[in-house]
Structure 1
């Protein structure tokens, strides 16, 4: 099956597909469409995001759905609102010439009453997020007792987001006679468990193996110290002009921190993470799709449902724990036959994690050095000419008479002057900047840990006020060896004050039989240090990480 016209799909569906400009099906579509059209078995389909999964399952189902019935026949579950809306939009496009087919999206972050009203139109297809589907089941607004098909899209992500119980509740509301299709980018233990419990002797389709993913993606990694990581990121962006990229971070807090850093340095960037309201998320994603911003800083979860085919770079600011997530992230670039670049910034102590990723994925990841100032300016000059020769659209008009007499200059002199003007600020920024220290990974031993780096920060960095050594009554006291010194991830820029630090320590140790002595407290710009009686070390480490300060996650580690 090399063309959609070679399938047994109805003329109405083929016409809608043709209107969208689709001629040849993707590999997942080649294998899935004929299977769903002719087989009654359940299905597990492993494929990366952006491979055409929605068409793969919806086209054959649309061809078989009973448009004369007003019962729900297809339920599609997906992890995020964005993916829910994207799937709904696609299905409506595919059913353009099937006027009796109705599709409704149900998701959180929007009025549940409006969604209940839309369900009164008796749609045959429901696309929803697990949480909102549960809410509507509890309100008796959804009845899945007669569905024929259930699709679990991005099953791995739904499980990683904590939807396991919701999925099992929803599945219990569906008939045993239904056909279940599980689509996932990875096959982890939880996905395997769900498939064993709720799918019956499923057929398996696997598309886009790791080897295929890396064909048109070059993988690079850069080793950089903890204190230099942001500057290294800036250099990588400057050395790769005209990029359209996603930067992946591990936590919401880190995501916002990096996005703020880039925006403060003049980059067209923004953050996408779970702490944003739905309106904020919609605004950010719209800006990114329209290329009003060209750098998106995101968590793995937030980036799901963002379907963009023209990404030039993926940057792993923080490595994921799961090697398959690394492959999934990287696979967001290099789509539609284009080349892509995956770049990872790793701290020296992440040697083992990188080795694990390379071993599991069999990806050839090349170590490179952080670009120097001269290399960055050279790349920027090349970027100017790249834009000059590839962008031919006239954005505005002007009278050529406004151009002064330039006959005294040669074309080389003019280009030289224009480049000096264009790149002046960047060149001045890097003029006196030292090159970042190069680090080599060793196969025999690990390089120093981040804690040792933080001890160097402690020695070399700017000290905060040193008047924090007071007891519970506020009286000064001497330091002694009975204290544990902690590194704390929040600081002045988080509006953290010493009184807040005292309150945090009190809450973390409130279940102890006595109150701990508190030593020196240093509130620095980006992080802090504090001392607590050694007997309370475990309480601080175990309890503080589950607390939040003004909505931000807290983390403490022993500083020495």
Structure 2
């Protein structure tokens, strides 16, 4: 196995590496460090955050700059102030044994004065965000004429954040004799444009595969009804023996809502979103970096620049709109050789998005079941036992209290003590999950080519018949459940099963709209179904029913008998929609 000693680094850098506890280089470090030490050439690096790329470019740059010249010789551009500060700290740590090294950190939202003094003081390495550096260039303060290295760190994110014009201006003003190093997790069109316009015959170094996920991260998704997503999130958290992770939501309102609900339910969680002031933002991120709280609920934009190495989980409460964002999110865990988990809660109609992500990742995202109550209780119990068996005992610290403890427990049977000990922490989970319902939705029926006529060519409708041969007439019942409540025909059939306590109701066509659905029921059974559904509780909603006039079923329709709740298609023409009058009933 290769060591840092074999890469050609000077003793001052090797000493700093050892002080930080690093022993062996990551793949991108093993390839890039000797290349940059021996070649004067542009480089594109395809690498996720957490692969060690800061050391990969930072160490050779520190070795090759001329400390005797008080000029800016290396510029590192980062998308956010947090990442800018993190990279600058890393560079300073690696170079702390290099006598006379000066660095500067340039970012917006801070006073200009100290940053101007650092630049005019002859900082050898400058780490900056594009916006603030462009301001200082316009003021004639920043000087890039002596630049030997220009690094674009997380170029795709900088472009996503709208820094195209600033990057163009900085690249145009930089020395023509520089080497440009571009790093990106993905290679979209705008990043490729920069490489084409501002780089010369770049050498490509890839950590993993282009646009692919990190191999140390496992990926799972969970199908769930929209109304059950928060409950499913809690179960994913509770079933873990320990979790240190980020929960990603699409909007700031969702972030605030989820963080607030978790707090009320006894979880330690902070919210990170765009409405926070910079002081609040830094406070939230500072606490999270310390592991208290262990959960951060965040939007993608707000979490940019948050750099934490030991995350165990990333949870996608909402799938992102862009596949590359899923890759960025998931890449926050499984770093530095550690394993991590990426878990996605998937709305019933988002299966196609999982397939699209799989295609880009080049790997399968396994579907998993939302943990049940028994599974969670067992996991928490085993976690408690593990903590007890692994705890380190400080005999000196507890010795003064042991006599009092023995006195209080005197006379208690061993078995009674064991049960009480387990119950101290376990009762909460028994109360919460002892009789918890199954949140896993029933599997959607697999469709064949012939199914198209039964589903009307869409996801929202279909002809379903059960319970034997029809007597001919069908009545349409309209219920206040639709796409907004994430129902599909199987859920509506299950609703009829539950409400009527039978599986022998003969159903016809089901049409699903945004806020309501029409269910055709055999006329002889319509009264029973209507009475059973009216006021029935479905996932916290009271069912309302409206009834349409009776219509005749097409003569060619055939029924299929079954003792299960599965749907069976009806062949033949659709019944006419003409001259139907709705009679609204109270309920």
TM-score w.r.t. length of structure 2 = 0.73
Q: Shift of the alpha carbon at 1:81? A: 1.0
1:60 aligns with 60
**In the aligned structure 1, how far is the partner of 2:212 from the partner of 2:258?**
31
Q: 1:399 to 1:312 in 2, by over 3 A?
A: same
1:220-262 CA deviation, whole Å, 9 max, x = no partner? 2111111111111112111224211111222333222222221
1:414 aligns with 417
Report if the CA contact (8 A) 1:105-1:127 is conserved: yes
**In the aligned structure 2, how far is the partner of 1:394 from the partner of 1:283?**
33
Q: 1:403 to 1:96 in 2, by over 3 A?
A: same
2:451 aligns with none
Q: 1:393 to 1:16 in 2, by over 3 A?
A: farther
Counterpart check, 1:129 vs 2:153: no
**In the aligned structure 1, how far is the partner of 2:345 from the partner of 2:74?**
43
Q: Shift of the alpha carbon at 1:437? A: 4.5
**In the aligned structure 2, how far is the partner of 1:240 from the partner of 1:81?**
33
2:403 aligns with 401
**Candidates 436, 459, 482, aligned match of 1:452:** 482
**In the aligned structure 2, how far is the partner of 1:132 from the partner of 1:393?**
53
1:325 aligns with 325
1:120 aligns with 120
Q: Secondary structure at the match of 1:399?
A: helix
2:183 aligns with 183
Report if the CA contact (8 A) 1:319-1:344 is conserved: yes
Report if the CA contact (8 A) 2:50-2:336 is conserved: no
2:441 aligns with 438
Q: Secondary structure at the match of 2:298?
A: strand
**In the aligned structure 2, how far is the partner of 1:211 from the partner of 1:158?**
17
Report if the CA contact (8 A) 2:7-2:30 is conserved: no
Q: Shift of the alpha carbon at 1:447? A: 5.8
Q: Shift of the alpha carbon at 1:98? A: 1.2
Q: Shift of the alpha carbon at 1:176? A: 1.9
Counterpart check, 1:240 vs 2:240: yes
1:135-193 CA deviation, whole Å, 9 max, x = no partner? 21122221112211100001111111111111111111112221100011111122111
Q: 1:86 to 1:394 in 2, by over 3 A?
A: farther
Q: Secondary structure at the match of 2:108?
A: coil
Q: 1:287 to 1:140 in 2, by over 3 A?
A: same
**In the aligned structure 2, how far is the partner of 1:416 from the partner of 1:364?**
43
Q: Shift of the alpha carbon at 1:433? A: 3.9
Select between 385-394 and 61-70 the one with higher mean Cα deviation: 385-394
* Pairing 1:320-399 to 2, within 5 Å after superposition: 320-392=320-392, 394=394, 397=398, 399=401
Q: Shift of the alpha carbon at 1:18? A: 1.9
**In the aligned structure 1, how far is the partner of 2:112 from the partner of 2:340?**
41
Q: Gaps (5+ residues) in structure 2?
A: 448-454, 462-480, 488-512, 516-587
Counterpart check, 1:94 vs 2:124: no
Counterpart check, 1:427 vs 2:430: yes
Q: Secondary structure at the match of 2:406?
A: coil
Q: Secondary structure at the match of 2:437?
A: coil
Report if the CA contact (8 A) 1:348-1:448 is conserved: no
* Pairing 1:12-161 to 2, within 5 Å after superposition: 12-161=12-161
1:108-139 CA deviation, whole Å, 9 max, x = no partner? 12212222233232211110111111121122
Q: Shift of the alpha carbon at 1:403? A: 0.5
1:5 aligns with 5
Q: Secondary structure at the match of 1:337?
A: coil
Report if the CA contact (8 A) 1:223-1:440 is conserved: no
**In the aligned structure 1, how far is the partner of 2:459 from the partner of 2:262?**
29
Q: Shift of the alpha carbon at 1:400? A: 1.1
Q: Secondary structure at the match of 1:374?
A: helix
Report if the CA contact (8 A) 2:12-2:97 is conserved: yes
Q: Gaps (5+ residues) in structure 1?
A: 458-484, 488-560
* Pairing 1:180-329 to 2, within 5 Å after superposition: 180-209=180-209, 213=213, 215-329=215-329
The structure whose Rg is larger is: 2
**In the aligned structure 2, how far is the partner of 1:210 from the partner of 1:384?**
42
Q: Shift of the alpha carbon at 1:58? A: 1.0
Q: Shift of the alpha carbon at 1:455? A: 6.0
Report if the CA contact (8 A) 1:250-1:299 is conserved: yes
**In the aligned structure 2, how far is the partner of 1:123 from the partner of 1:336?**
30
1:251-304 CA deviation, whole Å, 9 max, x = no partner? 333222222221222111112233322211211111112111111112233333
Report if the CA contact (8 A) 2:259-2:297 is conserved: yes
Q: Shift of the alpha carbon at 1:411? A: 4.3
Q: Shift of the alpha carbon at 1:430? A: 2.9
Select between 42-51 and 250-259 the one with higher mean Cα deviation: 250-259
**In the aligned structure 2, how far is the partner of 1:393 from the partner of 1:272?**
37
Q: 1:214 to 1:387 in 2, by over 3 A?
A: farther
Report if the CA contact (8 A) 1:157-1:301 is conserved: no
**In the aligned structure 2, how far is the partner of 1:126 from the partner of 1:198?**
20
2:510 aligns with none
